[in-house]
Amino acid sequence: MEFAKLKQVIAEVLNVDPEEITMETTFMEDLGADSLDVFQIIMGIEEEFDIEIPAQKAEHIATVEEAVDLIKSSIAASEE
């Protein structure tokens, strides 16, 4: 479920086809995102999932899979 929602956020920010996005997709190399695009994706994630992602963790997100893992851990932490 997180992956499907994340694909929509990425597709909206970067104006790409959600079908192009896989777990192995990298934001900068595969999708051509720059640091501002990644920041907008992080903001979209926070809004969509109602979580807060610390800046130091967000800086290290390179792939869609890393973003999904971060979303899952943030959701789990907020439920504790």
Which residues participate in catalysis according to the annotation? 34
* Residues 35, 40, 43, 48, CA torsion sign: negative
Question: How many CB atoms lie under 10 A from the CB of residue 4?
Answer: 8
For residue 49 the two structure tokens come to 């999932």
